[in-house]
């Protein structure tokens, strides 16, 4: 089935997710003659969605999903959890007794914890401080999106850059009459191993993941957009900074070394990251493994558990518990979902979305606004194109999870009667030859929920 035009779906999405439709002219209406206004006013595409539509039943949801859940491409361990967010109750679950390897849907837990502990308006500062006569230190503040230079094309969010920091630093040094410096770098904000001990051996050499650092540019990539990462992301960032400083007329000593910034030193110059809310949107939209690992360590710091990945996991579990989510059956080792050792109940994955949609937690909304839109954006841009999935296009928002043999979706959809459904669906036993079939089955399940009245 051919997809209707994207503009229509975007309009439907906006109406259905907000539960309201503005009809008529908002401003200047009195200046337009009534007959002209009536002639120009476009008809509503469909009636406004109700805040609470028809109450779905377990039998109704089971009927809508039965054939999809029986698809053999999903392997032996498959399950789904569906929650009626309009009424605050679980509607249906199947195959949820044993937790699943979540893959990247785990990022929902990491990002909701970061929003809760730090706040959506929080930013991370990269700065340069004086370390004595003729010596400066570049200090990493854990900005996951710090870049060397501005992107050639407009991007969201707009990133802080070393180029901007170098320009400000050079200006400040020249104002002090300083023409040359030695440069050190301080990435001590994060502690513990830079790589997670539970990751596959090929992740670092193949650039699937970076060594997590409080100071890096381009997520540790040696060249923007390329896979290969620096063995020491902090040193690579400092070396790039030295070259930029030289370009602005400040001579920098040839050797760049690790250093400890004086505790009381005032910044010579600094740049701030995008807000945490924007970073969370980026991480979930693009399923950014490296960004998620940085945020995990910030959660550890914010909860006084330290800046290691172990401390981050402790902080994550404590924060989720504070939000009323049950983590007792979850085994979590990282923030990105890269390790197969993670085992998480589907109810917990859906729970992150549920609390973000709750009236009690408006501070968590960026978790929802960053979710990919089915068929349109992020990791769902090329999804929902198979037969039986078109009813979800533009109407489902969900985080994807993918590892070899593992596929998951967790997010939300407002069904055709107006009820907001939160769901998590996964299989971690997919036969490799059935990968695309399994992924399409998950899409059909989410689309079925979006098309569901599910009252009988």
Dihedral sign from CA coordinates of 300, 306, 309, 310: negative
User: From the candidates 86, 93, 104, 390, which is the catalytic residue?
Assistant: 104
In angstroms, the CA 403 to CA 145 distance is 24
Longest distance between any two alpha carbons in the chain, whole Å? 79
Average pLDDT over residues 277-294: 97
Per-residue pLDDT at 4 exceeds 70:
no
In angstroms, the CA 339 to CA 354 distance is 25
User: From the candidates 93, 107, 113, 130, which is the catalytic residue?
Assistant: 107
pLDDT for residue 455: 82
Active site annotation includes 104 = yes
Domains annotated for the chain, with CATH where assigned, are 58-119+280-450 (3.40.710.10), 125-274 (3.50.80.20)
- Estimate the crossing angle of helix 162-175 against helix 233-247, to 10 degrees: 50
pTM of the model: 0.88
pLDDT for residue 53: 78
Q: pLDDT (tens digit, 9 = 90+) per residue, 94-134? A: 999 999 999 999 999 999 999 999 999 999 999 999 998 89
Mean pLDDT of the chain: 89
Average pLDDT over residues 280-309: 98
What residue has token string 């990945």? 309
pLDDT for residue 285: 97
User: From the candidates 86, 287, 379, 427, which is the catalytic residue?
Assistant: 287
pLDDT for residue 456: 75
- Provide the token pair at 160: 């802080």
% of the chain residues with pLDDT over 90: 82
- Provide the token pair at 64: 């809508």
Average pLDDT over residues 311-315: 98
In angstroms, the CA 203 to CA 404 distance is 14
Three-class secondary structure of residue 383 per DSSP: coil
For 265, half-sphere exposure in the C-beta direction (CA atoms, 13 angstrom radius) is: 21
DSSP result, 308-339: SHHHHHHHHHHHHHHTT---TT-B---SSS--
Active site annotation includes 113 = no
Active site annotation includes 223 = no
Three-class secondary structure of residue 110 per DSSP: helix
pLDDT for residue 5: 39
Exposure string for 320-331, b = 16+ CB within 10 A, e = fewer = beebebebeebe
């Amino acid at each position: 089935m051919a997809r209707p035009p994207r503009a229509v779906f975007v309009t439907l999405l906006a109406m259905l997710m907000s539960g309201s439709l503005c009809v008529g002219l908002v401003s200047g209406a009195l200046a337009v003659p009534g007959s002209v206004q009536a002639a120009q006013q476009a008809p509503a595409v469909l009636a406004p969605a109700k805040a609470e539509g028809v109450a779905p039943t377990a039998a109704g949801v089971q009927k809508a999903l039965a054939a999809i859940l029986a698809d053999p491409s999903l392997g032996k361990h498959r399950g789904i959890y569906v929650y009626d967010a309009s009424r605050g109750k679980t509607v249906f679950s199947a195959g949820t007794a044993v937790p699943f390897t979540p893959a990247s849907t785990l990022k929902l837990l990491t990002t909701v914890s970061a929003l809760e502990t730090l706040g959506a308006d929080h930013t991370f500062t990269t700065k340069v401080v004086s370390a004595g006569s003729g010596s400066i230190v570049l200090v990493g503040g854990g900005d996951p999106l710090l870049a060397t230079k501005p992107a050639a094309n407009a991007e969201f969010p707009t990133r802080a850059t070393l180029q901007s920091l170098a320009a400000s630093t050079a200006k400040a040094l020249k104002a002090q009459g300083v023409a040359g410096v030695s440069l050190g770098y301080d990435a001590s904000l994060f502690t513990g191993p830079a790589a997670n001990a539970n990751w596959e051996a090929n992740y670092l050499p193949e650039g699937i993941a970076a060594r997590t650092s409080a100071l890096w540019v381009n997520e540790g990539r040696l060249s923007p957009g390329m896979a290969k990462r620096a063995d020491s992301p902090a040193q690579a960032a400092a070396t790039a900074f030295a070259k930029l400083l030289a370009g602005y007329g400040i001579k920098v000593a040839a050797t760049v070394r690790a250093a400890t910034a004086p505790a009381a030193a005032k910044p010579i110059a600094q740049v701030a990251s995008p807000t945490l809310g924007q970073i969370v949107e980026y991480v979930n939209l693009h399923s950014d493994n490296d960004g998620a690992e940085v945020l995990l360590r910030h959660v550890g710091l914010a909860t006084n558990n330290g800046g290691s990945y172990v401390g981050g996991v402790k902080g994550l579990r404590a924060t989720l518990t504070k939000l009323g989510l049950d983590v007792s059956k979850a085994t979590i080792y990282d923030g990105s979902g890269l390790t197969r050792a993670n085992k998480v109940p589907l109810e917990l994955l859906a729970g992150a979305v549920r609390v973000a949609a709750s009236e009690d937690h408006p501070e968590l909304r960026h978790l929802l606004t960053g979710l990919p839109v089915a068929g349109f954006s992020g990791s769902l841009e090329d999804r929902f194109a198979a037969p039986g999935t078109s009813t979800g296009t533009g109407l489902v928002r969900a985080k994807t999870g993918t590892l070899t043999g593992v596929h998951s979706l967790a997010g939300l959809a407002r069904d055709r009667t107006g009820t907001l459904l939160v769901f998590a669906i996964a299989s971690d036993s997919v036969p490799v030859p059935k990968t695309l079939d399994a992924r399409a089955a998950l899409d059909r399940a989410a689309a079925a929920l979006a098309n569901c009245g599910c009252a009988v």
